[in-house]
Structure 1
Amino acid sequence: MSYKLSILASSVVLALSPALHAQEEYSVFDEVVVSGTRSEQSIKNIPSSVSKVSSEDIEQNLATDVKQALKYEPGVQVNGQGRFGMQDFTVRGMSGSRVKVLVDGVEQPASYNPGADVMRKNANTFEVDTLTAIEVNKGPTSTLYGSDALGGTVLMRTKNPEDLLGAGDDTHVGLKTGYASASDEYKATVEVANRTGDLETMVIYTYRDGNETETHGDGANINGPERGAADPLNYESHNVLGKAFYQINEDHRVGLTGEFYTRDQKVTTLSREGYDGGGGFMPGFVYTNVKGDDKDDRLRLGFEHEWLAGNVAFDSLEWKLNWSKSETEHNNFDHTDTYGNRNRSRSGTDESLQLDLQMQKELQLATSRHELTYGLAASDASFELDYTDYFLDSGTSKPGSTEVPKSDEEKWAVFVQDQMFLMDEKLVVTAGLRYDDYKAKPDSSSGLEEHSSDALTTRLGAVYHWNNNFSTYAQYSEGFRSPTIYELYYDKDNAAHGYKIVSNPNLKPEESQSYEIGLRANNRLGALELAAFYNDYDNFIKSKTEEVNGIDVTTNENIDKARIFGAEFKGSLWLDEAFGAPMGTYARLSMAYLDGEDKETGDTLDTLAPFTTVAGVGYDAPSESWGTALTVTAVAAKDKWEDSDNLEAPSYTVVDLTGYYRPTQDLTLRAGLFNAFDEKYWQYQDLEGTSASTEGVDRRTQPGRNWGINLDYAF
């Protein structure tokens, strides 16, 4: 590890030494983000790490989904592959529902994974062509966003009409098309925006048609559990995003948003052909003709109103009301001698109504300025499963056994934040406080108890600007996560098979405390950001099994504690200014180091990513007519797991090359060659829970050499 730390130290010294003495009125940290303070604010005034991937970054990297959009962000991983696709995010070692996901401020349901290979309800319904930015707020952010922001927040912001309409432009039409060889995917996007008087409107439609994401070509293309190639799959998706904003007068603006996403998918699960579900001891459970027919839908309708009041209580007030519904349906077909031909139909539905009210007030005092943000949030959500087993040969059916009953969730919260600008705005102090109340109500027919819990979270951070080019910051923040419906109400009596799963509605919320320090520096040669953090986690929910009268009884309890610490570095260097390279030449470097342990057992956490470095060089012609970039991603091996028998995730280095050509201002051609040297590699999270005896490990590899091409035309 010493050589890695030496590289990091050298990079800091190289980039920092000129920045400490520079006085230019220039800062790359003036970039505006929303997730750091719930309002538009320059990164330079935020006392924590916030990563932002813009729509330009997404296009430049030819990303086809959120996972590809975030692949160069150390400290952030997107999990999931195969039939069920993207599952969740990992931010600084926290994953699943411990990371809050928002779209335009609207809370998204956490993925549902009961462990069976026939049911998942994953986060597969985000269309990157609609996004203007993805922001990742690293570390606990519950004072801003409440429950689930235990380890961080991912905020996706969709485009508005003003993002498409330039100054003085009243109409925009954009056409995009592209191809990605890794999934044999074709896409087409149409953007239309218009400004007529005080009315702005926009519609974005995206169509995608593709197949399974390839694994590395070394994988055996055979049937059965030893299969190394991805299971054949084809899909079609449609996404429509529409927005309309009307400026009623100088003080009032209203807006409507509607979005609909649908995806149909068919899979032939060749890796299950010949699988013996009876383990050789129970004849009649050999699976053949294994197929799947899947459908994912997401619908969102929203209304918002902004009032520039300028009164004593607030300068501006904004309230939003959003209704959303997402549904997943999996039809799982197979044949066994015991059941004949059957379809195990599994569906899950999340529905929510969410109200957000936020007010802002600026106070100018004799020696300070205060930007106050305060408000409330409330939501009512429901989750329901519907399982049916159809026996196709006999034409009969029976209800399937669901893991949890239909349940409702009620949340409400109040929050306040004061961003204080002191000492002629050299010192910026941010203090936040939030109270959240949570209730879960299972269907009365289940006989299970209701759950209630609450949490008070705080945040205190400060940024000190030593000069225009060098700043340091420090922050303490808290997070919490209410128990999920699955954790509260999974209840199953299967004593005949030797086990029971008992619900526990008395679970307490998980808690986190985070300490972070960092620095930011920049001058005409480049910029850097360095952060170090230490996070403590308490009351982790974990299953515990005890034998009672010869039966294994499993229940969830607050029995675990963990700590995670690490450092992250991000820097850029203008090579033309530093070394006289052609104007427009630059270099970038980012690194992330994580460590930590389960404080109860001392084991390394499975969710900790290995040391990751992303380095690149690029060139953008001064005429903006063409450019190219070379990016190298190097990831160390992960050889420490909670289970010592877990298969090691080998280290790897992947090289990507992208470029663009703009013959006219309105036409852009982009192309990319990815994994240029055909490296065979696994992402560490895809090997969690595997051992040397696990079959079909090659089926978890990432694609070998692949390429993509996009064409954008706007007028």
Structure 2
Amino acid sequence: MSYKLTFIASSVVLALSPAIHAEEVSIFDEVVVSGTRSEQSIKNIPSSVSKVSSEQMEENLATDVKQSIKYEPGVQVNGQGRFGMEDFTVRGMSGSRVKVLVDGVEQPSSYNPGADVMRKNANTFEVDTLTAIEVNKGPTSTLYGSDALGGTVLMRTKNPEDLLGAGDDTHVGLKTGYASASDQYKATVEVANRTGDLETMVIYTYRDGNETETHGDGADIEGPDRGAADPYKIESHNVLAKAFYQINDAHRVGLTGEFYTREAKGDILSGEGRDGGMPGYIYTNVRGEDKDDRYRLGFEHEWQADLTAFDTLEWSLNWTESEADHNSYDHTVAKGNRNRARSGKDESLQFDLQMQKTIELATSRHELTYGVAASDDKFSLSYTDYDLDEGTSTPGSEEVPSSESEKRAIFIQDQMFFMDDRMVVTAGLRYDDYKATPDSSSGLEEHNSDALTSRLGAVYHWNNNISTYAQYSEGFRSPTIYEMYYDKDNTMFGYRIEANPDLKPEESQSYEVGIRANNRLGSVELAAFYNDYKNFISSKSTMDGSVEVTRNENISEAEIYGAEFKGNLWLDEAFGAPMGTYARLSMAYLDGEDKETGDTLDTIAPFTTVVGVGYDAPSDVWGSALTVTTVAAKDEWEDADNLEAPSYTVVDITGYYRPMQDLTVRAGLFNAFDEKYWQYQDLEGTTASTEGIDRRTQPGRNWGINLDYAF
């Protein structure tokens, strides 16, 4: 497979080599934030950063984050069904090993204790509020601390300035659309205004749909063999409001408020007749009611100081709360009619202070970024079992006690420009301290850990068209509350799970090299990387008589390596095609293993290729694109009996038309040839005898349409 990637990538680079040398015009000037914690051109960042803009999300008719980044190499979004999006996988790392931020505010990782009645998923993000999604691949702990072991996903929401023109201005935007895959209707209203030194904005989005459908071949029956999606209705509301005031030339303050709520309910037909494994536990009348909420309130201040210690100072204080409430109803002979009510809550107060200073020397320029970060977090569960026949209730068995955690950090970064900016060297250092304290009634011990991480990278611009880069970076991840304090004694069922507050942080070391090249004909970017991980936290089981005892330990080491390629070619310039015609290509190859066992990691994505051809009319009135995604089979898993994920090819067709300046109509036909396929991550943990395997498929042929009117 590695030879195949090398051959294909080399062929593409050679094919575009005339473009690389033809003319010195740079197009790698796209600005990102996640690479250095401040706005910086991608061309000066010594690592891979993918950016999906709001325009690209709209072009692809994305209804959620998963659809927004589906064409990005090396990145996947996990989760489907009743509880929706769960987490990200970046270059083989997933869950809390990938840090997720919204406007720099850390988001809690998903909580999944394994039972089918409780999830606290990361499913409360509204794409219509986003101006971009950035994915910084590889360890980024020197920038963002714990959890950035394998990468960072930064979602940037819109500001008033993104919607307004120059001077005093008012913007009103209306968006509506329909997506057949989830039978979803949406409506979004944007209002922004600038009057003098005050900028304000409100964005409201409403969505009404159903659980995303599976392929049409799935049997529409009741029971575990059901292949169709459950008839689960999902409704969401999101309100984002911002206000910024320019006090004077030196000071600007801002206030942000956001509220997201997702309500879902319906019959879980796939659970009808399921055997619970004990006498009297055949489930009927299975249905669910879910509610997920996320709140954010933030204040920020920017100071253009021009002092000796710093040129600019930015600080922010953000309060966030997210809560998931699930009611799971069923009937069994043993328990009668019941409701297993499960609730989980995360609350966080986060402070971030960042200063920047530019120092001009005789032969170099230094852009220093340094500051501190602190957060106080609370996590709690509340479980109650209701006997609906008797009208009584009893406390449920909560796996993890209520816990509090504290994070403190100090960081510094120096981006150095030499040789008239031809050589850019970036060095960073960060120290993080972490403390977790479980509720005293649990009898469990407090956890303390810390980490010092470093980063060193360089970009060399051979000319305006060709750059090479290399970087060494470190990452770490403190153990989660769940990993340390999951404590459950269920010896009557033959097992016991023991807490382990003495876990050490996971660590990673990453090496990456790459080349970027571009001119008027197109651009190419090729990156190769090797990531080494140690102190991986994994569960270890032993027998205590007839009872299986499971405990998390730092017992695993892993390595992941691969290469990624992205290329764009203007077909009109290169081959005389109609003006506005272009092609794009991306490929991602990944491999890796558990160094203790030699097994291929379940999170290793199969070789993926995305090819696109499109046309944008010079008049900007209409355009279309055809995208072909090909994914190889995944037949190597940590469990040799895991079901193989077959290879597949999916064709998507999108287009837009602007009948007037302020109105845009977009339409798309997705999976045009009705391919039946599974994403590899949805088959993890399955065997050939797994029931209802068709329920894990992706949608068959589906379509969508959006209308966008701004005035």
For the aligned pair, the TM-score class normalised by the smaller chain equals over 0.9
Structure 2 counterpart of 1:527: 523
2:168/2:195 contact within 8 Å kept: no
Contact 1:15 1:571 in 2 (8 A): no
Task: Report the CA distance between 1:343 and its aligned residue.
Answer: 0.3
SS of the residue corresponding to residue 342 of structure 1 reads strand
Deviations 1:475-516 (A, max 9, x none): 000000000000000111223332221110000000000000
2:430 counterpart SS class: strand
1: CA distance, partners of 2:245 / 2:269: 53
Distance 1:138 1:4 in 2: 19
Match of 1:83 in 2: 82
2:666 match: 670
Pair 1:4–1:423, CA change in 2 (3 A)? closer
Which residue pairs with 1:22 in the alignment?
Answer: 22
**Runs of 4+ displaced beyond 4 Å:** none
Deviation at 1:7, TM superposition (A): 2.2
Matches within 5 A, 1:205-604: 205-278=204-277, 282-604=278-600
Worse-superposed segment, 195-204 or 492-501: 492-501
Aligned in 2, Cα 1:477/1:277: closer, same or farther, shift over 3 Å?
same
Letter in 2 for 1:655: V
| Match of residue 606 from structure 1 | 602
Alignment of 1:698-713 (within 5 A): 698-713=694-709
Amino acid at match of 2:332: T
1:654 to 650, 653, 656: 650
CA separation in 1, counterparts of 2:80 and 2:196?
A: 47
Q: Which amino acid aligns with 1:11?
A: V
Report the 3-state secondary structure (helix = DSSP H, G, I; strand = E; otherwise coil) of the residue aligned with 1:487: helix
Query: TM-score, length-normalised on structure 2?
Result: 0.99
Q: Would the alpha carbon gap of residues 169 and 636 (structure 1) be closer, same or farther in structure 2, given more than 3 Å must change?
A: farther
Is structure 2 residue 678 aligned with structure 1 residue 682?
Answer: yes
- Residue 5 (structure 2) pairs with residue 9 (structure 1): no
Amino acid at match of 1:212: E
Q: Confirm or deny: 8 A CA contact 1:23 1:467 kept in the other structure.
A: no
1:23 Cα deviation (Å)?
Answer: 4.1
Q: Distance in 1 between matches of 2:493 and 2:633?
A: 40
Letter in 2 for 1:134: I
- Shift of residue 665, structure 1, vs aligned partner: 1.5
Contact 2:457 2:472 in 1 (8 A): yes
Amino acid at match of 1:7: I
Aligned partners of 1:83 and 1:267 also within 8 Å? no
Note if 1:180 corresponds to 2:179.
yes
Shift of 1:12: 1.4
Q: What is the CA-CA distance between 1:3 and the residue it aligns to?
A: 4.4
Deviations 1:2-29, CA, capped at 9 Å, x for gaps: 445422221111123431x2342x2221
Report how far residue 550 of structure 1 moved: 3.4
The farther-off stretch of 168-177 and 104-113 is: 168-177
State the distance in 1 between where 2:679 and 2:70 align: 11
Does structure 2 conserve the Cα–Cα contact (< 8 Å) formed by 1:78 and 1:88? yes
- Contact 1:360–1:371, Cα closer than 8 Å, also in 2: yes
Answer with 178-187 or 549-558: which moved more.
549-558
Aligned residue for 1:94?
93
| Structure 1 unaligned spans of 5+ | none
**2:114 maps to which residue?**
115
Q: What secondary structure is seen at the aligned counterpart in 2 of 1:155?
A: strand
Please give the residue correspondences for 1:67-82 in structure 2 after superposition, counting only pairs within 5 Å.
Answer: 67-82=66-81
Structure 2 distance, partners of 1:217, 1:496, is 42
CA contact (8 A) 2:19 2:520 kept: no
What amino acid does structure 2 have at the position aligned with 1:447?
G
Q: CA deviation at 1:467?
A: 0.1
Give the Cα–Cα distance (whole angstroms) in 2 for the partners of residues 516 and 6 of structure 1: 20
Q: Please give the alpha-carbon distance, in whole angstroms, between the structure 2 residues aligned to 1:316 and 1:18.
A: 40
Deviation track 1:283-329 (CA, whole Å, cap 9, x = no partner) reads: 31111000000000000000000000000000000000000000000
Which letter maps to 1:263? R
State the secondary structure of the residue aligned to 2:462: strand
Distance of 1:4 and 1:244 partners within structure 2: 48
8 Å contact kept, 1:91–1:138:
yes
Tell me the distance in 1 between the aligned counterparts of 2:655 and 2:490: 58
Q: Distance in 1 between matches of 2:409 and 2:693?
A: 45
Task: Check conservation: 2:423, 2:458, Cα contact below 8 A.
Answer: yes
2:252 partner amino acid: R
Alignment of 1:45-194 (within 5 A): 45-168=44-167, 170-194=169-193
Checking the alignment, whether the CA contact within 8 Å between 1:89 and 1:99 is kept in structure 2 is yes
User: Quick check: 1:385–1:402 contact (8 Å CA) kept in 2?
Assistant: yes
2:638 aligns with one of 639, 642, 648: 642
Q: CA deviation at 1:217?
A: 0.3
Greater shift after overlay, 282-291 or 594-603? Answer: 282-291
* Structure 2: distance between partners of 1:167 and 1:11: 42
For 1:125 and 1:521, the matched residues in 2 are separated by 38
Indicate the SS of the match to 1:112. coil
Task: Find the counterpart in structure 1 of residue 687 from structure 2.
Answer: 691
CA distance in 2, matches of 1:158, 1:608: 30
Q: Distance in 2 between matches of 1:678 and 1:592?
A: 24
**Residue type at the aligned position of 1:22:** A
Native 8 Å contact 2:168 2:196 kept in 1: no
Q: Quick one: distance in 1 between partners of 2:453 and 2:530?
A: 17
AA partner of residue 572 (structure 1): N
Following superposition, the deviation at residue 74 of structure 1 comes to 1.2
Say if 1:16 and 1:522, in contact at 8 Å, map to a contact too. no
Task: Specify the alignment match of 1:42 in structure 2.
Answer: 41
- Cα distance in 2 for partners of 1:429, 1:3 equals 33
Opposite residue 533 of structure 2, the aligned amino acid is Y
Deviating more after overlay: 495-504 vs 196-205: 495-504
Q: Give the superposition deviation at 1:81.
A: 0.3
Say if 1:586 and 1:618, in contact at 8 Å, map to a contact too.
Answer: yes
One-letter code of the match for 2:103?
A: D
CA contact (8 A) 1:298 1:327 kept: yes
For residues 49 and 84 of structure 2, the distance between their equivalents in structure 1, rounded to whole angstroms, comes to 26
Q: Deviations over 1:209-264 (max 9, x none)?
A: 00111100000111111100011110111000000000000000000000000111
SS at match of 2:298: strand
3-state SS of paired residue (1:467): coil
Q: Name the count of aligned residue pairs.
A: 710
- Equivalent residue of 2:76, what SS? strand
Q: Distance in 2 between matches of 1:131 and 1:261?
A: 14
CA-CA distance at 1:169 after TM superposition: 5.4
Tell me if the contact between 2:27 and 2:518 (Cα under 8 Å) persists in the aligned partners.
yes
Cα shift readout 1:95-140 (whole Å, capped 9, x = no counterpart)? 0000000000000000000000000000110000000000000000
Whole-angstrom CA distance in 2 between matches of 1:492 and 1:348: 17
Contact 1:225 1:696 in 2 (8 A): yes
